Chain A
Amino acid sequence: MSLQLINLSKHFEDSENATLREINLEIESGEFVCIVGASGCGKSTLLNLVAGLIEPSGGQILLNGKEITGPGADRTVMFQDHGLYPWLNVIDNVKFGMKLAGVSAEEQEEKAVHYLKMVNLLDYRDYPIHQISGGMRQRTALARALTMDSEVLLMDEPFSALDKQTSNRLRQELQQIWMETKRTILFITHSVEEAVYLGDRVVVLSLEDKAPEIVNIDLERPRHVYSPEFVELRRGILAKIRGEEY
């Protein structure tokens, strides 16, 4: 199974949204791919295209060889602003996607509890959303996304609205969860550190008309941000984003 982007481009009538030109990328099953780039390079546009929330101007997106035509549960998105429903408590939010899919009540409960445990939030299962912290909300959103068993999990800067400490902790937990579940994840971020920490590969989108560069991260997990190899990779990617020769 794989997700393929073939000559994918998108331009908008207005200039508010970033354009994408001829992107080619292939993501294998179980891979964790991060996309970084300066703001305005089209990271979020790329994610919205894969999610099916917007239509490409050219090219194709194939999931297991089939073209994507709209949004669907096989490509669940975890958003920066959690996208949880304030009229539901934590566990009902986690169950939401399964309820849409017509999963039986027992299985909903079982899976929701399983994933809430995984994100360390089971004690808060009956809390209303407005009574838990930003970090806990993202954990809830992560649990909800995991229940969907999507082919690809799309993450749109899920930790960048959080304070540094919380976001560091969450990415550590996400690494752990990924090691346990081996989901296929396409992760958008503006933090190079986060990308190198999490990804098998880091795709660097450029502001100019250049093809994206792909950097393989062959570091053992769990990774350490202060190891020399890590620092080196991070520096290299930052230089690419700035368009410098390295």
Chain B
Amino acid sequence: MSIVIFLCILLALWQGFYWVFVDLMEVFKPYSVPSPLGVGERFVELLSDGTLLQATGNSLLRGIAGYLIAVLLGLAVGLLINHFKYLQKNLKPLILGIQTLPSVCWVPFSILWFGLSTQAILFVVVMGAAFSIAISVDNAIKNVQPIYIKAALTMGAGKRQLYRHVIFPACLPELVTGLKQGWSFAWRALMAGEVMTTSIGLGQTLILGRDLADINQVMLVMVVIVVVGIVIDKCIFSVIEKKLLVKRGLWVQGH
């Protein structure tokens, strides 16, 4: 409840700022500062003509598709660098380095290789998320307590049983945390990919707002991007994470 009041206060201050500095004193130009009322107006317009729903739906579909590919790739690479000492030593530092690249850096390649297409966007998403997922898979497996493995070995576990019955369940909470972070990388990378294309999506709607000097539309899309990100985090990943931790007695209230 307190957060709702806080947001209302923030909105009121923002609107007040707009009235004083843009409307009254004309310090800033109206096309450079959005206002809550202006954003709300654009929201109603774009909602009623269907643009907003379509853009959000398209972006979500692309995001999810790219994310799933990134998860598969990340899992595979993560397992490989974890399993082979040679890759651990030589490839992992490289992946750690690549992971620091902002996803927008992949845009030139994606356009050259895939043109202005959905594949190009997916490529940016995959590149933006897969490496961080790979790293977190590797770390999650490394953090499995050695005693879990020792105990299983002295109960006759084979390599595959070890992965299936011990390593996988043991690293699940950390894995979910890694996948959650991977999603936020994917979602950000998606926007970097979408601003370059012309097919409808949140990123494209944002750029359209810029091109039309419609700062309220830009702001609106930014808000939608944030809201979608929060909803997915809170309604999917955090719920699973909490469930896993509660089951193991690792959940700390208010953490």
Contacts and interface: CB of A to CB of B under 8 A. Distances in A.
Contact of B248 (A53, A86, A99): A86
A165 B95 CA distance: 52
Interface in B99-116: none
B147 interface: yes
Interface of A: 51-53, 70-77, 79, 81, 83-87, 96-97, 99-101, 128-131, 144, 148, 154
Closest 5 CB pairs of A and B: A130-B249, A73-B156, A83-B151, A97-B155, A71-B153
Given A85-B166, A128-B248, A53 B156 contact: no
A215 B8 CA distance: 80
Given A72-B156, A128-B248, A131-B249, A83 B150 contact: yes
Contacts of B172: 87
A72 B154 CA distance: 5
B247 A99 contact: no
B172 to A, nearest CB: 7
B112 to A, nearest CB: 46
Interface in B153-175: 153-157, 161, 165-166, 169-170, 172
The secondary-structure label for the interface of chain B is: helix
B130 to A, nearest CB: 27
Given A52-B153, A83-B147, 10 more contacts: A74-B156, A75-B154, A77-B154, A79-B150, A79-B151, A83-B151, A100-B155, A101-B156, A130-B250, A148-B156
Given A100-B161, A130-B248, A131-B249, A85 B153 contact: no
A128 B247 contact: yes
A154 B154 contact: yes
B157 A100 contact: yes
B21 interface: no
Contacts of A84: 151
Contacts of A86: 248-250
A75 B153 CA distance: 10
Given A79-B151, A128-B248, A87 B169 contact: yes
